[in-house]
Structure 1
Amino acid sequence: MGCERMEDKSSYHIVYDKLWQDIKKRDPLEITKVRAVSYDNDSRQFGVIFFDEAYILDCDQKTICRKADGHVPDAMAKIIILNYLASAQPLPETASRWVSIKEIPGGMIFYSAFYKTAISVLIEAFGYHSGLLMTVSRPLGGKIGPFGDKSIVFRAFPEMPLCIILWEGDEEVQANATILYDPSIVHMLESAIIIDLGVYLAGRLKKMAVF
């Protein structure tokens, strides 16, 4: 199955084209040196691993599709993947710790919206079904983490970990959740895209949940 050409005229189309322009202006070797991606000079295609799945980015056709079956990711995933390449720069050393969205530049401003579109989605889907979180996380490369009642560490991209933490609720205790990032993410994605990444993961996990 081949990659489909993006034809929608929604608001993100301008951003999509701009990110492709930014990528195509750069020497692909500059990107592959600082990001865990591959590039084929003959086909002019990047190979990117996104949540443990291989994707092909065709620079001529400006398309993105999953290598295994040609599946085209949704709009948010496309923008995240393109931003990851377009923002590729050498990474400075950062402390080995986890940070919340509130510690990301600009994160406090958007925390209320982030809670509604990411955290509350996780609580609704898994707050009283914590075992289900691990089940649906496996296809995305999720590994058991050390926090809360249940925590799962993902790699959005090979060098970009993030962690979902869940505290399961019951009749007396309200369920809760959070998403943590490695601080190096601020050097790999724009702040708005970091927020989108959490929203995307929460939404995808919820869609995969089967009760």
Structure 2
Amino acid sequence: MDNRINVEKNRKDKIPYDYYKMLFKDFDPGVMAENTGCIFNKDREEIIVKLMGQDIVVKYPSGDMYSAEGSKIEAYPPKALILRYLMHGKGVSPSSKYITYREVDGGNVYYNNFYGRCILRLSKTFGKNVDKFKKIFEKLGAEKVDMGDAAYKFQFLNNIYVIFAIWEGDEEFPPSSQILFNSNVSFYFTAEDLAVVGDVAIGAITKLAF
């Protein structure tokens, strides 16, 4: 039963990735790299994207993705997200302003989904493991932010910065969290995309923690 569910989920996740791969070949790789702050290697026909501190090699025009060591990236949601980011990036640099999900265009409509998928997940995963939360972000070289019991600003992708904040909670209140995005994020992602951003980022730090 569980295996069948996983197969169905993989199939569902593969559909948008295949769709964006089809569109990707019609975009200029040099322009995409310039508009996202990535590097385009013309000789090798690949764009180097930095995701959570790791180099991801995006082949052009196929849209296939590999780690810096050469192993193929298998997970579909981050691959679809990266292709959307490359195709839709507008070249807007980060600002000093950070905004909540609700402040993003369409954020109010999708907030319940984002809350359950990202904010609540972050609270449940690290609300009682704040020391691990701190160690992960210090290891990643993230910038400490004066917010909550622990908060860090980190680079999710080139030009895309996110803040994760945790409150431990006490006898009266359960642990809570907040996720903020640099105000330039709307020039790269939609509100729906940002749920994937949060999901992928939490998955990455959870893998480092446990």
TM range (shorter): 0.7 to 0.9
Q: What are the Cα deviations for residues 141-200 of structure 1, in whole angstroms up to 9, with x where unaligned?
A: 533222111001111113111000111123343211010001110001122111210122
Which one-letter code corresponds to 1:135 in the other structure?
K
Q: What does residue range 174-193 of structure 1 map to in structure 2 within 5 Å?
A: 174-193=174-193
Contact 1:128 1:170 in 2 (8 A): no
Q: What are the Cα deviations for residues 95-118 of structure 1, in whole angstroms up to 9, with x where unaligned?
A: 631111111111112211211111
- 5+ residue gaps in structure 2? 1-8
Where does residue 87 of structure 1 map in the other structure?
88
Where does residue 12 of structure 1 map in the other structure?
13
Q: What are the Cα deviations for residues 51-85 of structure 1, in whole angstroms up to 9, with x where unaligned?
A: 11101011244311111352515222111111110
Q: What are the Cα deviations for residues 24-52 of structure 1, in whole angstroms up to 9, with x where unaligned?
A: 21222212222211112222111111111
TM-score (norm 1): 0.85
SS in 2 for 1:11: helix
The structure that is helix-richer by fraction is 2
Where does residue 194 of structure 2 map in the other structure?
194
- 5+ residue gaps in structure 1? 1-7
Distance of aligned partners of 1:197 and 1:73 in 2 relative to their CA distance in 1, 3 Å threshold: farther
C-alpha distance in structure 2 between counterparts of 1:87 and 1:116, whole Å: 26
Q: CA RMSD in A?
A: 2.2
Q: Provide the aligned length of Structure 1 versus Structure 2.
A: 202
Where does residue 120 of structure 2 map in the other structure?
120
SS in 1 for 2:179: strand
Contact 1:65 1:71 in 2 (8 A): yes
C-alpha distance in structure 1 between counterparts of 2:126 and 2:183, whole Å: 26
Where does residue 103 of structure 2 map in the other structure?
103
Where does residue 25 of structure 1 map in the other structure?
26
C-alpha distance in structure 1 between counterparts of 2:173 and 2:209, whole Å: 22
**Which of structure 1's runs of 4+ aligned residues deviate more than 6 A?**
none
